[in-house]
C-alpha cells in the first residue's frame, strides 16, 4: 500500500524513540522510501545506524550536514516527502510546530512542509508523561496543530517510562502505520 510513497520520519527525544525503529522497518517493508530526521535528543535514546539499517537510507541529524548530503537540505527533504510522520512527538516538537519555531533540522523541515500540513499528510504520534500531556499549554498546542491540518494518533493509556500509568504512551507502530495508510489512501500517486 505504501509503494512509491516518500515518507519523512521525524524522531524526537523521548524514550519511545525505540518504537520508531520498528515503525521505520514496517514502512520500508511496506514499500515506502523512508528518510529519517533525528533530533539531538533522539540520538541519546537510539542511534542513527538503527534507522539506516532498517530503511537503507541515510539519517539526517543536523542542519549543517556534510557536503555530500547538501542536496537533502530542509527544503529538499520537505519537497521530497509525500507524508511526514513525527514519532515520538514530544511536547517540545508539538510546541515548535504550533508556534513556528525553527531551531533544528526537524522543526525547520516540518515548517517547510506546509503543503503536506494543509493536505492532512502530516501525522504526529504524541508521547510524554501523563502530567505533561494533561498540561493546558500542551493541550492548547495540540489543538493549534490540529487546526493547522496536522493529524495525530494517540497517545495511548498505559505504563509510562517513569513507572506510572496514564495517558501519554506513544501509540504502537502498527497503529501509527494504519494511520499512515489512511493518509496514503487519500493521496493520488502516479
Residues 177, 23 contacting (CB under 8 angstroms):
yes
pLDDT tens digits for range 90-100: 999 999 999 99
Residues 176, 87 contacting (CB under 8 angstroms):
yes
Nearest CA to 172 out of 18, 30, 34 is that of 18
pTM (predicted TM-score): 0.92
pLDDT tens digits for range 29-85: 999 999 999 999 999 999 999 999 999 998 999 876 654 454 556 688 899 999 999
Residues 12, 93 contacting (CB under 8 angstroms):
yes
- For residue 95, the surrounding DSSP H or E stretch is helix 91-99
**Is 162 marked active-site?**
yes
- Selecting among 43, 102, 113, 162, the annotated active-site residue is 162
Structural domains of the chain sorted by starting position, each given as residue range(s) with its CATH number in brackets: 6-185 (3.40.50.1950)
Amino acid at each position: 500500500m505504501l509503494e512509491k510513497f516518500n515518507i519523512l520520519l521525524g524522531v524526537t527525544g523521548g524514550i519511545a524513540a525505540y518504537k520508531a525503529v520498528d515503525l521505520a522497518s514496517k514502512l520500508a517493508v511496506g514499500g515506502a522510501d523512508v528518510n529519517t530526521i533525528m533530533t539531538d535528543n533522539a540520538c541519546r535514546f537510539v542511534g542513527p545506524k538503527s534507522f539506516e539499517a532498517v530503511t537503507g537510507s541515510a539519517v539526517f541529524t543536523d542542519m549543517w550536514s556534510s557536503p555530500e548530503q547538501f542536496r537533502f537540505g530542509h527544503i529538499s527533504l520537505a519537497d521530497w516527502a509525500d507524508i511526514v510522520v513525527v514519532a515520538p512527538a514530544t511536547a517540545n516538537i508539538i510546541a515548535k510546530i504550533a508556534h513556528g519555531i525553527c531551531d533544528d533540522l526537524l522543526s525547520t523541515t516540518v515548517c517547510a512542509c506546509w503543503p503536506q500540513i494543509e493536505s492532512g499528510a502530516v501525522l504526529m504520534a504524541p508521547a510524554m508523561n501523563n502530567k505533561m500531556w494533561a498540561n493546558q499549554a500542551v493541550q492548547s498546542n495540540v489543538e493549534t496543530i490540529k487546526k493547522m491540518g496536522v493529524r495525530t494518533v494517540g497517545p495511548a493509556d498505559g505504563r509510562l517510562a517513569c513507572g506510572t500509568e496514564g495517558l501519554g504512551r506513544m501509540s504502537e507502530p502498527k497503529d501509527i502505520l494504519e494511520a499512515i495508510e489512511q493518509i496514503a489512501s487519500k493521496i493520488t500517486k502516479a
